[in-house]
């Protein structure tokens, strides 16, 4: 009888208003063994409460929404403040986003997938 238990995959909520980016990130992260839930920025709070992710990967520019402000809301909410958030942006000039300081990490587009996976691993290791 095999008594080894299979590790429970970490859940990552990926938020971006670009369907193509969502699909690529979902495929790569699932291939790496993560459970992935995606959102286009419209129903973030519901998804967080329903899925309780281990990490959130979120674009700053979400059409009508601002990812850095959403991040601040999450970090100021006792229920979600400990969920690590990595913000993504095509803007290299972070001075335009002073609210970014509550994010746990940041990566600029286009990003190197290895660098992103290292950031995710680092944050998930710290928060386990």
* Model confidence pLDDT, tens digit, residues 43-81: 777 778 788 899 999 998 887 788 888 888 889 999 899
- Kindly tell me if the per-residue pLDDT of 17 is higher than 50: yes
Q: Is 117 exposed, middle or buried (0-12, 13-18, 19+ CB in 10 A)?
A: middle
Question: Cα 58 to chain center, whole Å?
Answer: 5
If pLDDT is split at 50, 70 and 90, which confidence band does 85 have?
very high
Question: How much is the pLDDT for 1?
Answer: 46
- Kindly tell me if the per-residue pLDDT of 10 is higher than 90: yes
- Kindly tell me if the per-residue pLDDT of 88 is higher than 50: yes
How far apart are the C-alpha atoms of 22 and 39, rounded to whole Å? 8
pTM to 2 decimals?
0.86
Q: Which domains does the chain have, with CATH numbers?
A: 11-126 (3.40.50.2300)
């Amino acid at each position: 009888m095999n008594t080894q238990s299979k590790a429970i995959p970490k859940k990552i909520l990926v938020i971006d208003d670009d369907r193509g980016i969502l699909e690529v990130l979902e495929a790569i992260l699932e291939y790496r063994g993560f459970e992935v839930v995606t959102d286009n920025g419209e129903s973030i709070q519901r998804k967080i409460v329903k899925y309780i992710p281990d990490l959130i990967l979120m674009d700053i520019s979400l059409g009508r929404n601002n990812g850095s402000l959403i991040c601040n809301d999450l970090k100021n909410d006792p229920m979600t403040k400990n969920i690590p958030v990595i913000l993504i942006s095509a803007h290299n000039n972070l001075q335009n986003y002073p609210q970014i300081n509550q994010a746990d990490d940041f990566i600029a587009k286009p990003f190197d997938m290895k660098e992103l996976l290292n950031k995710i691993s680092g944050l998930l290791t710290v928060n386990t």
